[in-house]
Chain A
């Protein structure tokens, strides 16, 4: 059978180890080739092109070779993906452009408090494994809403799940395409909008022809590129600095040096300071000191929301539909977390090494006339590094800006520096004096991370539209061919819509990405978990829980962000604003009322800005809105379920069958059995 020799065919599955080992070897060979080309004088620009276009071409090739005309392959990769490889694919699916490029930077800026993201984005997989994934695999769904429909009495629950899915995935995918555009435009030196559509093309080539099957095998390839790209620079750096190529081990020494430098800089006034209990001047935000940015309530609330959000995001859950068995679904979650762990436990090392570098620069009293080149490189690029409030593009601009600050010593102070989080990972090769080829490698890694996450998210959205809305709700008799055509058309439409949105650089949408976790946690998690673990959960209960949990979460998110003034006025008694903050609010409000027509908008903006800092319930930050939505969802399901008659015997039997690994899936695959 000729089909067997295509990507995803049975001989392909049998030889996965060989194929991807060869691929990895070829990738290393390619990096070495570019390194040689760089040494013989090929300009950096072409090295950058080489990385971006060759990797894109390989992903596209895999995507095209994985084309399929079977529904089961399109939606769940024919349920043939071994757990190890599904783990890699999930790793790439999960780790976004922001994780790759921005995570280390967040840790650089926040120190210990940033570790809430490291914990939150890994621990959720424990919930996926013990509560959800194996059961959904046994269930045999094509999409997450499939489960809601079957368990909770039909299309209304399905529709609600689709709404939640789209709300949390669309902003997320827009951010991924935006990241693709940023990375491509930086390294290829092309216009951002053009770069966005180049990225879109890459994404569509990977996903359109082969659906989940194509996305799976490109994600495995993308994982390899992204993890190599993430580890290589920091391993080299660790070997250079400490003689041991294990950065995860050696950055302990960097942390010691950071702490000692913080004390020295505090004494010299080179860093923002505060007084400790004994009255000594200390750095205001030491790297290892907990709760300098988030108070403990917000720190732990953030961890909870990110973890539960992880366990509810449909583009992650659907990856576990593709394993050959329930057993492999479980081990696949373990592999996923292992592959994700490799990146996340390295990120703090990047942060520590960069911080040490910057602190050394500051502590040595580096004159503004003598700053290292990387500062100007990234200062020039969209002002990613700012000094004394201006983009650090030339030495003269920086000196002029700093001279305007009263009492500025003429040497770099830490409080003068404003570094965009993205710079930390991107600049590491340059800071460590590595050749440009390593910088190109990092760009290829960031691109792989953004593209792979975008693929998964787009497929989750488009599949919900084509399978749940079109096939299950509008046209249940559609033929296989029609379903696949509709699926592809919707994929292109969704992709084009998010690329268009990304190309307008929408600040609001990009800042909403963090909302996805709370929204998914509040809207999906309670009904999903109780649907499996509590037979007594009824349709009415689940619907009430989904609506109320999601609504409370959305109300809090939108209220504290966009209607902060009225939110504070309604809920001020429940907030944690101090008397001084309340007085300030009252003063700004009077100023706004008294302002002449021409100054109204500015006065309101000032009032709104201040209101955003105090509008809350118990001081919980906007990003952790799931802290309210989650319990509301659980309690609503519990109460309403007990008030309504128990689910029918048929539904209860179905839950029993879902819990037992043995036996056929609940929903029968059509087309997936063709092997």
Chain B
């Protein structure tokens, strides 16, 4: 069984880290580069550029961390390195 290969575990873990890192980069910086353009869209009174910095990116951070915890746990189990506890 391919399970338990340390190299594969680490490459999957790294891949997940880099995916998360890019998403983080997007919501921390890239989306806010376009604040002026986004501000022309208004939802419920919020200009979208302002909204992304005040709430949108924060919500994205929270959701991605729960997804990350779940995904990494699945990798741990599939690669046979999860804790017994």
Q: Main SS of chain B's interface residues?
A: helix
Question: Does the CB pair B65–A348 fall under 8 Å?
Answer: no
Contacting residues, chain A, for B36 (C-beta < 8 A): 290
- What is the 8 Å Cβ interface bit string for chain B, positions 46-71, against chain A (1 contact, 0 not)? 11011101110111011011101100
A330 and B69 form a contact (CB under 8 A): yes
Q: Is A248 an interface residue (CB 8 A)?
A: yes
Q: How far is the CA of A307 from the CA of B32 in the complex (A)?
A: 15
Q: Contact: A131 with B69, CB < 8 Å?
A: no
A28 within 8 A of B: no
| Contact of B65 with A333 in the complex, beta carbons under 8 Å | yes
* Cβ-defined contact, A661 with B61, below 8 A: no
Assembled-state Cα–Cα distance A326/B46 (Å): 39
Q: Taking the nearest CB of chain A, how far is it from the CB of B39, in angstroms?
A: 7
Most buried by B among A126, A304, A333: A126
- Using A123-B27, A256-B45, A344-B58 as known contacts, say yes or no to A288 and B50 having CB atoms under 8 A apart: yes
The minimal Cβ–Cβ distance linking A103 to chain B, given in whole angstroms, is 12
Judge whether A185 is part of the interface by a CB distance below 8 angstroms. Answer: no
Query: Are the C-beta atoms of B29 and A300 separated by less than 8 Å?
Result: yes
The segment out of A112-120, A227-235, A491-499 that lies at the interface is A112-120
Is A123 within 8 A of B39, CB to CB?
Answer: no
B17 within 8 A of A: yes
* Minimum C-beta distance from B83 to chain A (A): 5
B35 to A: closest C-beta gap in Å: 5
CB-defined contacts of A503 to chain B, threshold 8 Å:
none
Q: Is the interface of A mostly helix, strand, loop or mixed?
A: helix
Size category, B interface:
35 or more
* Chain A residues within an 8 Å CB radius of B13: 659
**Residues on the B chain within 8 Å of A337, using CB:** 61-62, 65
B57 vs chain A, min Cβ distance (A): 6
Q: A87 vs B13: C-alpha distance in the bound complex, in angstroms?
A: 23
Check if A594 is an interface residue, CB within 8 A of chain B: no
B65 contacts A334, CB within 8 Å? yes
Q: Provided the pairs A131-B17, A303-B28 are in contact, do residues A126 and B45 lie with their beta carbons within 8 angstroms?
A: no
Indicate if the CB atoms of B68 and A327 lie closer than 8 Å.
no
Q: A115-B53, A656-B6 are in contact. Are A330 and B82 (CB under 8 A)?
A: no
B28: contacting residue among A251, A252, A307, A348, CB under 8 A: A307
Contact of A662 among B28, B43, B84 (CB under 8 A): B84
Say yes or no: A130 contacts B6, CB within 8 Å.
no
A604 within 8 A of B: no
Bound CA span A122–B85, Å: 30
Q: Which residue of B lies closest to A107 (CB)?
A: B54
Q: Are B68 and A330 touching (Cβ within 8 A)?
A: yes
Any B CB within 8 A of the CB of A324: yes
In the complex the two chains form, is A255's CB within 8 Å of B46's CB? yes
| 20 A-B residue pairings within 8 Å (CB atoms) | A119-B28, A119-B32, A122-B61, A125-B65, A129-B68, A130-B68, A248-B55, A255-B45, A256-B42, A288-B50, A330-B69, A330-B72, A331-B66, A334-B69, A337-B62, A348-B54, A656-B6, A660-B81, A661-B81, A662-B81
Chain A positions within 8 Å of B, measured between CB atoms, are: 112, 115, 118-119, 122-123, 125-127, 129-131, 134, 248-249, 251-256, 288, 290, 296, 299-300, 303-304, 307, 324-327, 330-331, 333-334, 337-338, 341, 344-345, 348, 656, 659-662
| Top 8 closest pairs, chain A to chain B, by CB | A252-B45, A334-B65, A115-B53, A252-B46, A330-B69, A331-B69, A252-B44, A348-B54
